[in-house]
Amino acid sequence: MSVRRQELFEAVEESTHRLLATADRFADGDLAGLSLVPPWTRGHVLSHLARAAESCCRLLHWARTGEPNPTGRWRADVERLPGRAARLVDRADRR
């Protein structure tokens, strides 16, 4: 692996840890509060980030294996799952 690629992987990992640490500080009631992206709540934003990350993982798997893995369904999940944001953070933390 090239040095530049390794630096990018480390930056992504560091950013992920910062995001999860920030999300972990929210109480469930905080997740219902408005975000800086109206009309989304903080829960919507966390759900969006989790679904987008899963979508990227599916695309990378597809690129590596040639096995199609559609990504379009995550948009509906963002609207449906903002109340489950705390569980999404917990799930991401276990990966």
- Could you count the other beta carbons within 10 Å of the beta carbon of residue 41? 19
In which residue ranges of the chain is pLDDT below 70?
1, 71-95
Tokens of 45: 């934003």
Q: Where are the domains of the chain?
A: 3-93
Q: What is the pLDDT of residues 3-17, one digit of tens each?
A: 798 999 999 999 999
CATH architecture of 3-93: Up-down Bundle (1.20)
pLDDT on residue 3: 78
Alpha helix stretches (DSSP H) within 1-95: 3-24, 28-31, 42-65, 74-80, 85-93
